[in-house]
Amino acid sequence: MKKSIQLIALSFLVLLSTSIATAQDKARQIEDLLNKYKEYGQFNGAALVAENGKVIFKKGFGEANMEWNIPNQADTKFRLGSISKQFTALLIVKLAEEGKIKLDVPITTYLKDYPKENGDKITIHHLLTHTSGIPNYTSAPNFFKDKARNPYTPEEFVKTFSSLPLEFTPGEKFNYSNSGYFLLGYIIEKISGKTYEQYLQEIIFTPLKMVNSGYDHSDVILKNRAAGYEKHGKKVVNAAYLDMSIPYAAGSLYSTVEDLYLWDQALYTTKLLSEKAMESLFKPYISAGRASYGYGWFIDEVDNGTKDKIKTVGHGGGINGFNTIISRYPADKNLIVLLNNTGGTVLGEMNDAIKAILYKQPFNQPKKSLALDLLDIYTAKGLTAGNEAYKKLKNDPVYAIKEGDINRVGYQLLQDGKKKEAIEVFKINTETFPKSGNAYDSLGEAYLADGDKKLAIVNYKKSVELDPTNEGGKKVLAEITK
């Protein structure tokens, strides 16, 4: 009997030792991966990875403040952008669980000052699932130029879009809209009698001891807050100012990778909501391209190296100077959090590679982004030199053509008045990613800016054909084909 106990203990120790060694090997692979992305100028932020509910990796990369050479760390605070939406969604579901609101009634039930012509057709469920048809305020022409720097109360800002015509019948389709989540914050204030910030703190952050999370305010002195930067090719500049009353319940929160781990763990419990109410957040209510959308979460199925696919719930965020991603794999209690403070970068690509490491699958090694070199050449040497550089470098195995990077470079050139160069860059995306509606939309925009309405129409039509949810493209197309 004594020998049996000893054998069991020995077997347990062997299994434990193997498990620790495996986790350490995965952590080493993740660190090597992110170091390479850092070397290639594609990651500057913080990362946390958990496996089976336990943190196996967390670390900062690059600098939180480049002017003072202050490094990013695991407790550095980053603006979250649209990751904020999942917190707003939980607050709404909490109010519904308490019987203070209903999700299937018109929003005019709670917003008496909202125009009834539209408001009587839109439910809170529509707002939560991006199916309201309300135009996305951040997509409005000259939004960042005309409004983004100015402070607004929630009531004042709602009036800037509440009377606009709906883009489609509510419930008919998915079209991502920050306007809907802004309205949800306003509804929370109306029902709770507290500010969105106060209610968020009371219901989520304080109970979960998320002491490094909150509603960001530019004027507040906030310890360990990362500065936001943008990349213009390889050049880094300070991000443009954005008044944080604008993103509001759609994107104004800040947090750390460590606090987002606390958030992730709480979502497996009934600390915040009942089990049934929690499940309602993660139901696939509406198709959203390749994935589905729940309440504040994208829902998908991914390969885990077996015959069966596993469910993943996650969301990305982008706001001046920052982009972010959180990916949860509930069946295994795995988590990936990446927070970056140099504007848009390939976090989705990094997330996929880390997921592959967790599930012992092959993955693509990081490559330099061709877009960054092209921007410098097109800017400094012009159209012909840029085209020649592209022909030379596109087959170089050190480089990769990354759709998001190419798109950002195209818009940078367009903003700088280099319309012909922008057209050539956007063409690279349509040739490399021929099934991307967004690539054709961008090329159409560049042709329109250059005065070529005929080719603009061709590319907008192709964009809408590939992506029927592209309401902005449909609107432009309708205007230029009158």
pLDDT, tens digit, for every residue of 296-309? 999 999 887 777 78
Q: Is residue 32 part of a domain?
A: no
Residue with tokens 């910030």, as numbered in its chain = 197
- Burial (CB count within 10 angstroms: exposed 0-12, middle 13-18, buried 19+), residue 133: buried
74: nearest Cα among 328, 275, 261, 290: 261
Query: What value does the mean pLDDT of the chain take?
Result: 94
Quick check: 469 pLDDT over 90? no
Quick check: 18 pLDDT over 80? no
With left for phi above 0 and alpha for psi between -120 and 50, is residue 121 left, alpha or beta?
alpha
84: nearest Cα among 290, 282, 253, 275: 253
- Burial (CB count within 10 angstroms: exposed 0-12, middle 13-18, buried 19+), residue 426: buried
So what's the pLDDT on residue 20? 78
Give mean pLDDT, residues 37-42.
95
So what's the pLDDT on residue 7? 67
Q: Which two structure tokens, joined as six digits, stand for 128?
A: 């939560």
So what's the pLDDT on residue 12? 60
Q: Is residue 408 part of a domain?
A: yes
List helix spans (H) across 64-115: 84-97
- The CA distance from 449 to 249, in Å, is 33
Quick check: 459 pLDDT over 90? yes
- The CA distance from 278 to 104, in Å, is 17
Give mean pLDDT, residues 424-428.
96
Final residue belonging to a domain, choices 331, 358, 385: 358
Q: Is residue 201 part of a domain?
A: yes
Residue with tokens 């690279």, as numbered in its chain = 428
Final residue belonging to a domain, choices 293, 327, 358: 358
- The CA distance from 418 to 116, in Å, is 45
If asked whether residues 459 and 379 sit together in one domain, one would say yes
342 close to 14: Cβ distance less than 8 angstroms: no
If asked whether residues 126 and 146 sit together in one domain, one would say yes
What is the domain extent for residue 95?
81-220+242-358
Q: Is residue 1 part of a domain?
A: no
The number of folded domains in the chain is: 2
Q: Is residue 23 part of a domain?
A: no
Give mean pLDDT, residues 199-219.
97
Quick check: 325 pLDDT over 60? yes
pLDDT, tens digit, for every residue of 328-361? 999 999 999 999 999 989 999 999 999 999 999 9
So what's the pLDDT on residue 1? 63
If asked whether residues 434 and 320 sit together in one domain, one would say no
Cα 206 from chain centroid (whole Å): 25
pLDDT, tens digit, for every residue of 353-383? 999 999 999 998 999 999 988 998 999 999 9
Quick check: 9 pLDDT over 70? no
The one-letter amino acid code at 220 reads V
Q: Is residue 72 part of a domain?
A: no
If asked whether residues 432 and 467 sit together in one domain, one would say yes
If asked whether residues 171 and 272 sit together in one domain, one would say yes
If asked whether residues 146 and 294 sit together in one domain, one would say yes
If asked whether residues 166 and 247 sit together in one domain, one would say yes
So what's the pLDDT on residue 14? 58
- Determine which of 75-79, 107-111, 466-470 has the lowest per-residue pLDDT on average: 466-470
**Integer CA distances (angstroms), 473 to 49, 208, 478, in order:** 37, 42, 9
What is the rounded end-to-end Cα distance, in angstroms, of the chain? 88
| Other beta carbons less than 10 A from residue 253's beta carbon | 29
pLDDT, tens digit, for every residue of 306-317? 777 889 999 999
Give mean pLDDT, residues 406-434.
94
If asked whether residues 312 and 386 sit together in one domain, one would say no
If asked whether residues 196 and 98 sit together in one domain, one would say yes
CATH number for the domain harbouring residue 388? 1.25.40.10
So what's the pLDDT on residue 327? 98
By three-state DSSP, how is residue 299 classified?
Answer: strand
Final residue belonging to a domain, choices 358, 380, 405: 358
List helix spans (H) across 333-402: 347-358, 370-381, 383-393
Give mean pLDDT, residues 94-102.
98
By three-state DSSP, how is residue 278 classified?
Answer: helix
Percent of the chain with pLDDT over 90: 86
**Integer CA distances (angstroms), 127 to 119, 123, 285, 294, 311, in order:** 11, 7, 12, 11, 24
Buried b / exposed e across 363-373, counting CB within 10 Å, b at 16+? Answer: beebbbbbbbb
So what's the pLDDT on residue 206? 98
Q: Is residue 183 part of a domain?
A: yes
If asked whether residues 179 and 311 sit together in one domain, one would say yes
CATH number for the domain harbouring residue 295? 3.40.710.10
pLDDT, tens digit, for every residue of 120-139? 999 999 999 999 999 999 98
Q: Is residue 70 part of a domain?
A: no
450: nearest Cα among 427, 412, 430, 420: 420
If asked whether residues 199 and 333 sit together in one domain, one would say yes
Residue with tokens 């920052």, as numbered in its chain = 322
- Determine which of 93-97, 130-134, 449-453, 475-479 has the lowest per-residue pLDDT on average: 475-479
357 close to 33: Cβ distance less than 8 angstroms: yes
If asked whether residues 294 and 434 sit together in one domain, one would say no
So what's the pLDDT on residue 17? 57
